[in-house]
Amino acid sequence: MSGGFVAVVGPSGSGKDSVIEWARAALEGHGGVVFPRRRITRPAGGGEDHHPVSEADFASAEARGDFALTWRAHGLAYGLPSAVSDAVAAGEVVVANVSREVLTRLPGLFAKVWVVRVTVSDEVRRARIIARGREDAAGAAARVARPDPAPDHPADLEIVNDGTLEQAGEALAGFLARVHGDLKAP
Ligand SMILES: Nc1ncnc2c1ncn2[C@@H]1O[C@H](COP(=O)(O)OP(=O)(O)O)[C@@H](O)[C@H]1O
Ligand SMILES: O=P(O)(O)OC[C@H]1O[C@H](OP(=O)(O)OP(=O)(O)O)[C@H](O)[C@@H]1O
């Protein structure tokens, strides 16, 4: 039985990484739901526990076929390791924060795909990006202004992250537990 891939998408600052981290901690020990570290050409830090890589190392890894999925945005390269494909093939549910640009590619890569869209108002987003402090003022403004590259793509779950992180995290954790349970159902 194959598993599937849960794409967590949404504009910068909507809370994707925070909600994923909350769900990861909540599902610790649950089994069958995995949260791979993204490879990003960005130095360590800034909230997400990603795997920082240089541009050169990213390009070599991409050429070797070390990635299940790659994309570029914000002047950075992002990749998910090829172990993600193996995990899905082995029946696991893999959860990752990805660009909305890759959504149309996912059904060609994984047996099952679910899309979780995280949203919040532009005012809240702007304030959260600035408070996060990862980007300089220009970088933060560019993230606020980036248009949605896939505005009409449907989602299986929408999380409006305008309440507490716990509320949003519980929504994702509950969805992941359901999806995983459905895969196991006879
Ligand atoms: N529900 C929430 N309430 C308050 N702050 C939040 C909430 N969700 C996320 N944040 C904060 O907003 C900022 C952006 O969240 P982040 O998870 O980095 O978003 P994204 O990955 O979508 O860019 C972070 O500093 C995070 O701590
Ligand atoms: O094409 P988009 O849907 O706009 O997304 C572009 C990229 O930005 C986000 O990552 P990143 O962690 O760098 O940014 P964020 O945390 O500010 O969203 C997202 O996960 C994508 O990798």
User: What's the confidence (pLDDT) of residue 186?
Assistant: 74
Q: Is residue 50 part of a domain?
A: yes
Give the pTM. 0.97
On whether the CB atoms of residues 1 and 60 are closer than 8 A, the answer is: no
Q: Is residue 108 part of a domain?
A: yes
Q: Tell me the CA–centroid distance for residue 64 and ligand 1, in Å.
A: 34
CATH number for the domain spanning 33: value is 3.40.50.300
User: What's the confidence (pLDDT) of residue 149?
Assistant: 94
Q: Is residue 146 part of a domain?
A: yes
Mutating to test ligand 1, I would choose from 128, 144, 159 the residue with most ligand atoms within 8 A of its C-beta, which is 128
Residues spanned by the domain of 33: 4-181
* CA-proximal residue: ligand 1, atom 14 (nearest): 13
* CA-proximal residue: ligand 2, atom 2 (nearest): 99
Please work out, in degrees rounded to the nearest 5, the angle formed at the alpha carbon of residue 105 by the alpha carbons of 99 and 111.
Answer: 115
Lining residues, ligand 1, CB within 6 Å: 10, 12-18, 47, 97, 128, 131-132, 161, 164-165, 168
Task: State the 10-residue block means of pLDDT for the chain, 186 residues long.
Answer: 95 98 96 97 91 98 98 97 98 98 98 97 96 94 94 97 98 98 86
Q: Which residues of 112-128 are buried (b: 16+ CB within 10 A; e: fewer)?
A: bbbbbbbbbeeeebbeb
Q: Is 29 annotated as a binding residue?
A: no
Q: How far apart are CA 166 and CA 81, in angstroms?
A: 29
Q: Is residue 174 part of a domain?
A: yes
User: What's the confidence (pLDDT) of residue 47?
Assistant: 84
Q: Tell me the CA–centroid distance for residue 29 and ligand 2, in Å.
A: 28
User: What's the confidence (pLDDT) of residue 1?
Assistant: 78
Q: Tell me the CA–centroid distance for residue 132 and ligand 2, in Å.
A: 14
Q: Is residue 186 part of a domain?
A: no
- Which ligand minimizes its atom distance to the CA of 22? 1
Q: Tell me the CA–centroid distance for residue 141 and ligand 1, in Å.
A: 16
Q: Is residue 22 part of a domain?
A: yes
User: What's the confidence (pLDDT) of residue 85?
Assistant: 98
Count of structural domains, the chain: 1
Q: Is residue 91 part of a domain?
A: yes
- Please report, in angstroms and rounded to a whole number, the separation of the first and last CA atoms in the chain: 11
Q: Is residue 114 part of a domain?
A: yes
* CA-proximal residue: ligand 2, atom 17 (nearest): 12
